[in-house]
Structures are given as C-alpha cells and as structure tokens.
A and B are shown apart, each in its own frame.
Chain A
C-alpha cells in the first residue's frame, strides 16, 4: 500500500502553439493535504493538473512525486488516480468492470487480460480484484449498482463510480478535474461533504481543480488561486479570504463579490475613498490612486451617516432568506456597494431609500494601482495620524 506523498512542481511552463497557458509555476502539494486549484476558466488550472498527471507534457519544469523525479514518466506509471469532469466511464463496461479496470490493467499479465482465456489463467488475481471493487463500492454505497452500465446511472451515481475507479487502486494521490460541475446544485453540496469525508478516510493527497470558489473554500486545506497562467496566492481558505494578496484574488474569492471603490493614498500613506479620508494608513507611503475594498458582510446598516461610512440609494434588496443583500448606488450612482443586512433591518427599507452603511467588522483592504495589496499600519496609529 503506497503512502501519501508530496507532489512537487518546479518552474512549469506550457504554451499551446503561440498561446502561453502557464508561466513558470511552482507548487508543492504536501503529503495528505487537500489542495484546490481555483480560478476562472482559461487560467491554466486544468492544464497544470494534467501536467501533474502526466497527460500533458510541460515545455519546461520538473514534476516529482515523493521525491522521485517523474517529469519524463508517462501517466500510467505515476501511480496517480484521476477523476474527470465527464467521469470518462467506459460505457460498454459494467460498473464493476469499470472500477476493476485500473487493477486489471496493472495487476494482470497480458495473458490474464485476454477475453476468454484470461479469467481461467488469472482466477486468483481476479478474485482479489473483485474483493477490492466490492470494498470500494461499499464505502461509496454503490454496491447494488455493480452490474449496471454507466448509461443506466444518474449523474451522482456515475460520479461515485468514477471515484470508486480512482479509489480501488490506492494511489499516492487523487487528482480531480471539476468533478462536481456536472451535478445539480443540491447534489453538488452533498457530494462536497462526501468528498471531504473521503479525504479524511483515505489520508491521501487530493489535488482538486474547480472554478467554483465556494467549493475551494469549503473543501481545501490550502487553495491556490490561479489566473492568467500564474498562481496568484497559495494559502489556507481563511487566509486567502481575509488576507488576499491582490485585488484579483479578492474579487474572485467570496460571494457576493467584494465591494471596490476608487480611492487614493497621499505621500504620507493616508488613504481616502472617493475623496473622503479614512482612518487607515499605508505603511509604504506612496501617493497615487488606490482601490478600497470591503466585504459585504463587514458592512452594517446605520441609522445615521458616520464620517467614514457610506450612503447610497437602495436599488435592490436580494433576499436569501437568512440574509438580505442590499444593493446601494453610491457616488451619484456610478458605483454599487453590496451590504449584508439582517432580514428585520432590510424589512424597514424600501427601494429608493437612502441607506447608511459602515464598516463594522474587519478592515477595508487597500490595493495600489497595480492591484497589489498595500500593508496598513496598526489601526490605532492610523487613527492617530488622521486626528
């Protein structure tokens, strides 16, 4: 039984024809962790996963698994398992045969795989394989479906079969390429929980590709946010959410999206938002335009305007039951700010009202003109500086 291993990629670059897809990417997946590659479509996350799998060759860079350099090793010899977006089940084989395929291909001799003669030669090995398929099917609760063909299964069942096919072999790591994207919303949430449980049970490294930031936040030990062929930030979900390194990361992670308003910093590092000074000071005092960003749930409705708060006209109240997201037009309607409110607070408001909001939790994030996060001085000091 293989142990969980560290997967390391160094300096990976890849271009399809003249189009670069990956620029000098470094990534280390720690043994046994659940790492998510998340980013919008076309960011290179799937390509990175396929290079790790060995299905695609990198133009430059090295891949190693458990310290062994596997850059030139084909996918079949890397001891990895993959779950595909379309599940890629063999439609002509039963569920049991699908799940047995990786074992049959690896553990039976060429003669043992022959159609008619094979089962006679390799009876013992086939029994062991059947037992392992049975075991995996029990875990995934698909043991009643083993004789069916994939075409007779629902999407969720196919998903489990694809997982089962990956599981039976006990590989060093599982690679998953948007495995839940073909399921309906309710099933997706359910399968998320199952995947997390499966990861705890198997104790293997999972590398999981998704474009859904919610999936990345809920599942990962660490997540790598990708865009334009680069990893923008790699860290635990909390860290990426609360402490995004760039504006792009901040915009991509979190739903509804983080609010951004134009601002600037002066030579002393003092931050203002749409001309209004804020009790914030950048450590690196450069004068220039900046973007001030606030999470919707960090804002709260106030009865009166506050000096560093915002006032906007309510254009739309998005009712999600537990919360209501207020869409406010601020700054002559040029910008929209979304604030989370309790339903009972929102109930008192109607479209067209002027609503005052204030940052009550956390801190506004400030990004410079290039979109890089600006470090802020300790809050007390900042307030002092403004005073």
Chain B
C-alpha cells in the first residue's frame, strides 16, 4: 500500500469514532426524546401508549409549567445581562490596572472553579434567616443611622428577608448566586478580548479627537469586543438555562417556595427521574432544546453578520 493510499484511509479512522459518538450520544437522544415525548413511557412500565401531543399540551396549559417557564426566564433574564455586564465591567477595570489587576482576576475566577453544589450549601447557610451570616450582619445595623432606611427599619422591626425561603425573594436570590458564580468566566473571556485589541487603535482614536474614556470605549473597545460579546452571551445563555445544582440542593422537594424556583432542568429531573414520567420529561427536554437552539442560532447569525470584518 502506498503512503498516498494510507493517507487516503486515515481520515476514516480519525473521523469515524467521533462521528459515531456524535450520532449515538448527541443526535440519537434528541430523536429518542422526541419519540418519548409523544408517549406515556416510564422505565419498567409495560404500557407504552402513544398519547399524541398531550404532554406538550400539558406543558403549555398547566400552571405548574407556567411557573416553570416563569422561574426559568426570570433566572435567565437576570443572570445573562447582569453576569455579562459585570464580566465586562470587571475586565475593563482590571485591564486598565495592568499587572496590578492580576490578583482581582484570580479572585473573581475562584467561584467558576469551585463546585457549585458545595458553594450552594455554603450560601444556604450564609443566607439562613436566623443563624446566617448575612442576616446577622444586617442585624448589626439596627440602632444605627442605617435604620432610617425603610429596608433596615422593616428588617429590625420584624425580620430581614428570608432570602431562599420566601417566594418573593427566592428566585432572585438564586439568580444572585448564579451571577456570583458565573461572571468571572465572562470576565476572563473579555480580558482575552481586550488584550486582542491593537493599542494603535486607541492611539488613532486619540489622534482623531476621541477625548473621553467613554468615546474611546464607543469608538474602539465596544466594537472590537463585538465577537467576544456574542460568544459570552451565548455561553451565558446556555449555562443559565441549565441551572440545576443550586435548586436541587436548596429545594430537593418541589422547586422552592410556591414552586417559584421550579426551573426547567429541575422539572426534567423531577418528572423524568424522580417520578418516572418519561413522556412529560422528554417533552420538556424537547421544548428546552428548542429554546437553547433558537437562541444560540440567533446568536450565531449575529456572529456571522458582525465578524466578517475580521
């Protein structure tokens, strides 16, 4: 066999395994999910009836799932913009400090490294309504000038927020932890983007009369970070749609006070795994995939439109 022929076949061995696994692990399950979503299948069940679109109908009509969408979109709606904005802000500040910023960079990235399940347990303790550090810290304000503010006055009078156990605050508190955990990752991506901006562009902007930091940001930094922003937003959306660890740790039963933190991943887990209602779990999976794919495809369109100048 000539070398040319060997090279001719090599790609089969190189691409084959990856191709097979892509089909078996990523594409086939989508088909399986789509298939299961129109049945009432359960592991070990003998019955496996075709139920049509009944599962989907339930998802879009029952109040439980209304809560599921509400919780998911609240979470995503807060975590994506806030963690992207904080990531960008931190990156800009740290970048402008040069080497002195390295310590902050390290610190802000720590939550990305730490197991979220562990940190969730810590946050749960810290946010405990009575013995938690947060409310004990807030109680220190009682009797001080801070008490003039209505938040502190109410807190000292009755109780400070219950955070994770109050249905009005629970989802926002979980979202806060999500931001805490994720913005450092965005920051690192933005820092990489910032180092990629040629310094001469800033000098050109100065020569062109861009006098304020804001004008330099508008003329150079923000447009040059365009592709980074698209990427960061995509990653943030995918990550925040998948929030699960915290919710399961805080609320093993039922998704929080009044199901206010009943996010989609938890719903899939609860319906499919805990209650063995594979049909409905699969239907949520399909809806979920639909959201994520549509959003990321939109993002990719943006990338293609915006990066052709590179």
A interface, CB within 8 angstroms of B: 50, 53-55, 74-77, 80-82, 84-86, 88-93, 101-102, 105-106, 149-151, 165
User: Contacting chain A: which of B132-140, B220-228, B260-268, B278-286?
Assistant: B220-228
Assess whether A88 is in contact with B211, with CB atoms less than 8 Å apart: no
How long is the Cα–Cα vector from A102 to B209 in the complex, in angstroms? 6
Given A74, A92, A102, A151, which contacts B208 in the complex, CB threshold below 8 Å?
A: A102
Whole-angstrom distance between the Cβ of B228 and the nearest chain A Cβ: 13
Query: In the complex, which residues of chain B have a beta carbon less than 8 angstroms from the beta carbon of A93?
Result: 223
List 4 A-B pairs, minimum CB-CB distance, nearest first. A105-B209, A88-B204, A88-B200, A92-B223
Judge whether B310 is part of the interface by a CB distance below 8 angstroms. yes
Judge whether B207 is part of the interface by a CB distance below 8 angstroms. yes
User: Inter-chain contact count A-B, CB under 8 Å?
Assistant: 73
From known contacts A55-B203, A84-B200, A101-B219, infer whether A92 and B209 are also in contact, taking CB-CB under 8 Å: no
Query: In the complex, which residues of chain B have a beta carbon less than 8 angstroms from the beta carbon of A88?
Result: 198, 200-201, 203-204
Residue among B209, B210, B219, B226 with max Cβ neighbours from chain A (10 Å):
B209
Assess whether A76 is in contact with B309, with CB atoms less than 8 Å apart: no
Q: Considering only CB atoms, which chain B residue lies closest to A152 in the complex?
A: B309
How long is the Cα–Cα vector from A374 to B16 in the complex, in angstroms? 78
Whole-angstrom distance between the Cβ of B37 and the nearest chain A Cβ: 43
Query: In the complex, which residues of chain A have a beta carbon less than 8 angstroms from the beta carbon of B210?
Result: 76, 105
Judge whether B99 is part of the interface by a CB distance below 8 angstroms. no
Q: Considering only CB atoms, which chain B residue lies closest to A85 in the complex?
A: B200
Residues from 190 to 239 in B contacting A, C-beta threshold 8 Å:
198, 200-201, 203-211, 215, 219-220, 223-224, 226
Q: Considering only CB atoms, which chain A residue lies closest to B200 in the complex?
A: A88
Judge whether B9 is part of the interface by a CB distance below 8 angstroms. no
Judge whether B308 is part of the interface by a CB distance below 8 angstroms. yes
Query: In the complex, which residues of chain B have a beta carbon less than 8 angstroms from the beta carbon of A53?
Result: 203, 207
Assess whether B223 is in contact with A76, with CB atoms less than 8 Å apart: no
B interface, CB within 8 angstroms of A: 198, 200-201, 203-211, 215, 219-220, 223-224, 226, 306, 308-310
Assess whether A150 is in contact with B309, with CB atoms less than 8 Å apart: yes
Query: In the complex, which residues of chain B have a beta carbon less than 8 angstroms from the beta carbon of A77?
Result: 211
Given B203, B207, B219, B310, which contacts A90 in the complex, CB threshold below 8 Å?
A: B219
Q: Is the interface of B mostly helix, strand, loop or mixed?
A: helix
Query: In the complex, which residues of chain A have a beta carbon less than 8 angstroms from the beta carbon of B207?
Result: 53, 55, 75-76, 80-82, 102
Assess whether B219 is in contact with A55, with CB atoms less than 8 Å apart: no
Assess whether B204 is in contact with A82, with CB atoms less than 8 Å apart: yes
Q: Considering only CB atoms, which chain B residue lies closest to A56 in the complex?
A: B203
Assess whether B224 is in contact with A91, with CB atoms less than 8 Å apart: yes
Whole-angstrom distance between the Cβ of A206 and the nearest chain B Cβ: 15
Q: Considering only CB atoms, which chain B residue lies closest to A86 in the complex?
A: B200
Query: In the complex, which residues of chain B have a beta carbon less than 8 angstroms from the beta carbon of A76?
Result: 206-211
Given A54, A74, A80, A84, which contacts B204 in the complex, CB threshold below 8 Å?
A: A84
Q: Considering only CB atoms, which chain B residue lies closest to A50 in the complex?
A: B203
Assess whether A92 is in contact with B309, with CB atoms less than 8 Å apart: yes
Sample of 22 A–B contacts (CB below 8 Å): A76-B207, A76-B210, A77-B211, A84-B203, A84-B204, A88-B203, A90-B204, A90-B220, A90-B223, A91-B309, A91-B310, A92-B224, A92-B226, A92-B306, A101-B219, A102-B207, A105-B209, A106-B208, A106-B209, A151-B308, A151-B310, A165-B208
Whole-angstrom distance between the Cβ of A46 and the nearest chain B Cβ: 11
Query: In the complex, which residues of chain A have a beta carbon less than 8 angstroms from the beta carbon of B223?
Result: 90-93
How long is the Cα–Cα vector from A81 to B205 in the complex, in angstroms? 11
Query: In the complex, which residues of chain A have a beta carbon less than 8 angstroms from the beta carbon of B209?
Result: 76, 102, 105-106
How long is the Cα–Cα vector from A358 to B211 in the complex, in angstroms? 62
Whole-angstrom distance between the Cβ of A45 and the nearest chain B Cβ: 16
Whole-angstrom distance between the Cβ of B297 and the nearest chain A Cβ: 23
Query: In the complex, which residues of chain A have a beta carbon less than 8 angstroms from the beta carbon of B206?
Result: 54-55, 74-76
Whole-angstrom distance between the Cβ of B193 and the nearest chain A Cβ: 13
Given A85, A90, A165, which contacts B201 in the complex, CB threshold below 8 Å?
A: A90
How long is the Cα–Cα vector from A93 to B223 in the complex, in angstroms? 9
Assess whether B200 is in contact with A101, with CB atoms less than 8 Å apart: no
How long is the Cα–Cα vector from A76 to B226 in the complex, in angstroms? 26
* Extra 14 A-B pairs, beta carbons < 8 Å, given A81-B207, A90-B220, A105-B209: A55-B206, A74-B206, A75-B207, A76-B208, A82-B204, A85-B200, A91-B224, A91-B310, A92-B306, A105-B219, A150-B309, A151-B308, A151-B309, A165-B208
Q: Considering only CB atoms, which chain A residue lies closest to B209 in the complex?
A: A105
How long is the Cα–Cα vector from A91 to B197 in the complex, in angstroms? 11
How long is the Cα–Cα vector from A165 to B203 in the complex, in angstroms? 14
Query: In the complex, which residues of chain A have a beta carbon less than 8 angstroms from the beta carbon of B204?
Result: 82, 84, 88-90, 165
Query: In the complex, which residues of chain B have a beta carbon less than 8 angstroms from the beta carbon of A55?
Result: 203, 206-207
Query: In the complex, which residues of chain A have a beta carbon less than 8 angstroms from the beta carbon of B211?
Result: 74, 76-77, 105
Whole-angstrom distance between the Cβ of A214 and the nearest chain B Cβ: 25
Q: Considering only CB atoms, which chain A residue lies closest to B201 in the complex?
A: A88
How long is the Cα–Cα vector from A153 to B11 in the complex, in angstroms? 37
Query: In the complex, which residues of chain A have a beta carbon less than 8 angstroms from the beta carbon of B200?
Result: 84-86, 88
Query: In the complex, which residues of chain A have a beta carbon less than 8 angstroms from the beta carbon of B201?
Result: 88, 90
Residue among A54, A55, A151 with max Cβ neighbours from chain B (10 Å):
A55
Q: Considering only CB atoms, which chain B residue lies closest to A54 in the complex?
A: B206
Whole-angstrom distance between the Cβ of B31 and the nearest chain A Cβ: 41
Q: Considering only CB atoms, which chain A residue lies closest to B210 in the complex?
A: A105
Query: In the complex, which residues of chain B have a beta carbon less than 8 angstroms from the beta carbon of A82?
Result: 203-204, 207
Query: In the complex, which residues of chain B have a beta carbon less than 8 angstroms from the beta carbon of A75?
Result: 203, 206-207
Whole-angstrom distance between the Cβ of B216 and the nearest chain A Cβ: 10
Query: In the complex, which residues of chain A have a beta carbon less than 8 angstroms from the beta carbon of B310?
Result: 91, 151
Q: Considering only CB atoms, which chain B residue lies closest to A115 in the complex?
A: B218
How long is the Cα–Cα vector from A89 to B223 in the complex, in angstroms? 12
How long is the Cα–Cα vector from A55 to B206 in the complex, in angstroms? 8
